[in-house]
């Protein structure tokens, strides 16, 4: 770079908020000028391997021509119309979605983000369960469901702490997680009897008035927690037995990320409500999707559906969905996610064998986490949730900064890295990232307890 001030960076820092941070750390956001395939390029011309698909959303990679063309065509035809009207793109996209969603999900509400998709799901549950007086929502501590007041109230991670109390949705109660590496009950699978699921039944029966359960089938930002095979089917069974609505938050885990259309497909679970966003358009346009069963939809035939947005069913937002679906199929990306996911898991476990700071490696498809620890024997973390909330420098961020220097961009969170590259990634690109990781992890190794 020339060493001269970057006007774009200065204007962005001056006039816009940097999210989830104290603003003093938003003075020099990286200036990005291009993105293509699995790479994006900064203002100096340096290319970075996008190893977390930006915010785990660019599943198709950057500059997919078919998706871009679909957006252009819709922009020329009709960029916006009120959601009160029927338009072709809304009809065709809805029809296409019902064909790939888990069986039984037949009615859709559209918004512009995963946060809004979850907010809609929560309101639908509240309205649907109101006649029987149920209103409580069960979520989990290792979760992120969004930033609006309802969705953040259901978020278990520290981002909730800053806005509590969260109003009428303060009736959220948190369940233990299916987190085998750090089992909250200090048990081991399979002898545990899936206590983390069974405890939810105990909660429902002792709380009463539970309206819904919201879970990420594979936890995203908070650790890529892949459940054991019995967990989700049992959780859905518990919900059915107790007349509780089961919401699957597939905002991050959907759209081929785990090697299937949606993560629940891996376990044959059919949720009452499924929310998704990100990969539905490959992040080319902002779209949120809340899909419900016909049983839930039928309730609103005679009862008021009290929800909506100006940009609900926005034609331009929906425009790339069919193109994206076709590209997932044409490029055989689910098979690639499985094949490259197996290879990625192998390479990550090799890193675990070589680096004393690596405590756990877990994942499915092209959705993985590498968790670092200060003491492998005791599983003591380098940092805690309280450290994150207080703005303490984190070890994962130091490692991520070194990866960035070596040409790899990755998402880090408290004690782990979220590894979720575009589904188009190949073996050579994975090798490049693993070689960079091999060097960057030496920073954490140097600070482990002896």
> d(Cα 262, Cα 240) in Å, to the nearest integer?
21
Please identify which residue in the block is written with the tokens 């987190």. Answer: 179
Tell me: do 218 and 354 sit in the same domain: no
Tell me: do 282 and 419 sit in the same domain: no
> Into how many domains does the chain fold?
2
The mean pLDDT values, 10 residues at a time, for the chain of 450 residues are 78 95 92 98 97 98 98 98 98 98 98 98 97 96 94 92 70 96 97 98 96 98 97 98 98 98 98 98 98 98 97 98 98 98 98 98 98 98 94 96 98 97 98 98 96
Tell me: do 244 and 287 sit in the same domain: yes
pLDDT at 162: 86
Cα-to-chain-centroid distance, residue 223: 10
339-363 pLDDT per residue, tens? 999 999 999 999 999 999 999 999 9
On whether residue 13 sits in a domain, the answer given is no
Tell me: do 134 and 271 sit in the same domain: yes
211, containing H or E segment: strand 210-215
On whether residue 364 sits in a domain, the answer given is yes
Cα-to-chain-centroid distance, residue 92: 26
Tell me: do 88 and 227 sit in the same domain: yes
368: left (phi over 0), alpha (psi -120 to 50) or beta: beta
pLDDT at 320: 98
Tell me: do 158 and 257 sit in the same domain: yes
According to DSSP, the residues that pair with 360 across neighbouring strands are 371
> d(Cα 141, Cα 330) in Å, to the nearest integer?
38
DSSP 163: G
> d(Cα 319, Cα 225) in Å, to the nearest integer?
32
Which of 293, 310, 329 terminates a domain? The answer is 329
120-178 pLDDT per residue, tens? 999 999 999 999 999 999 999 999 999 999 999 999 998 898 888 865 555 899 999 99
The CATH number assigned to the domain holding 242 equals 3.40.640.10
On whether residue 369 sits in a domain, the answer given is yes
> d(Cα 9, Cα 448) in Å, to the nearest integer?
36
CA-closest candidate to residue 309, choices 326, 279, 292, 287: 287
Residues 6 or more apart from 338 whose CB is under 8 A from it? 259, 365
DSSP assignment of 340-389: HHHHHHHHHHHHHHH-TTEEEEEEETTEEEEEEEEETTTTEES--HHHHH
Structure tokens at 31: 């200036």
DSSP 227: P
Which of 329, 362, 396 terminates a domain? The answer is 329
On whether residue 284 sits in a domain, the answer given is yes
Count Cα atoms within 13 angstroms, Cβ side, for 19.
4
> d(Cα 347, Cα 357) in Å, to the nearest integer?
16
On whether residue 7 sits in a domain, the answer given is no
Task: Supply the pTM of this predicted model.
Answer: 0.96
416-442 pLDDT per residue, tens? 999 999 999 999 999 999 999 999 999
Q: Using CB atoms within 10 A of its CB, is residue 393 exposed (0-12), middle (13-18) or buried (19+)? A: exposed
pLDDT at 3: 58
Domain that holds residue 415: 31-60+331-445
Which of 329, 352, 382 terminates a domain? The answer is 329
How far is the CA of 139 from the CAs of 97, 111, 186, 232, in angstroms? 26, 22, 20, 14
């Amino acid at each position: 770079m020339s060493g001269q001030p970057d006007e774009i960076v200065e204007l962005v820092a001056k006039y816009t908020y940097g999210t989830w941070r104290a603003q003093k750390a938003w003075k020099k956001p990286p200036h990005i000028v291009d993105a293509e395939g699995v790479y994006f390029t900064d203002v100096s011309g340096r290319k970075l391997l996008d190893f977390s698909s930006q915010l785990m959303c660019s599943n198709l990679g950057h500059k997919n021509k078919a998706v871009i063309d679909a957006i252009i065509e819709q922009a020329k035809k009709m960029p916006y119309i009120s959601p009160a009207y029927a338009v072709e793109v809304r009809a065709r996209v809805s029809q296409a979605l019902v064909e790939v969603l888990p069986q039984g999900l037949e009615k859709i509400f559209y918004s512009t983000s995963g946060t809004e998709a979850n907010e809609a799901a929560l309101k639908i549950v509240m309205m649907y369960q109101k006649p029987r007086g149920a209103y409580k929502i069960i979520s989990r501590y290792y979760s992120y469901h969004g930033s609006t007041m309802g969705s953040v109230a259901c978020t278990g991670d520290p981002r909730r702490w800053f806005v509590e109390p969260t109003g009428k949705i303060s009736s959220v109660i948190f369940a233990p997680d299916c987190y085998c590496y750090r089992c909250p009950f200090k048990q081991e699978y399979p002898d545990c009897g899936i206590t983390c699921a069974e405890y939810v039944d105990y909660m429902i029966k002792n709380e009463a008035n539970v309206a819904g359960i919201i879970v990420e089938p594979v936890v995203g930002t908070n650790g890529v927690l892949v459940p054991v095979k019995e967990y989700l089917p049992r959780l859905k069974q518990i919900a059915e037995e107790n007349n509780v609505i089961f919401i699957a938050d597939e905002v991050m885990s959907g759209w081929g990320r785990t090697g299937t259309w949606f993560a629940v497909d891996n376990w044959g679970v059919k949720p009452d409500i499924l929310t998704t966003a990100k990969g539905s358009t490959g992040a080319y346009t902002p779209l949120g999707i809340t899909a419900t069963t016909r049983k839930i939809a039928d309730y609103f035939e005679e009862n008021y559906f009290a929800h909506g947005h100006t940009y609900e069913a926005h034609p331009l937002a929906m425009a790339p969905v069919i193109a994206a679906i076709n590209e997932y199929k044409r490029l055989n990306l689910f098979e690639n996610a499985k094949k490259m996911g197996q290879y990625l898991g192998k390479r990550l476990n090799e890193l675990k064998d070589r680096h004393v700071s690596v405590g756990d490696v877990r994942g499915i498809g092209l959705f993985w986490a590498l968790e670092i620890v200060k003491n492998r024997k005791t599983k003591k973390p380098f940092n805690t949730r309280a450290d994150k909330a207080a703005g303490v420098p984190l070890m994962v961020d130091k490692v991520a900064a070194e990866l960035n220097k070596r040409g790899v961009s990755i998402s880090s969170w408290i004690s782990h890295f979220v590894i979720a590259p575009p589904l188009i990634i190949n073996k050579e690109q994975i090798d490049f990232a693993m070689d960079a990781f091999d060097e960057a992890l030496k920073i954490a190794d140097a600070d482990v307890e002896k």
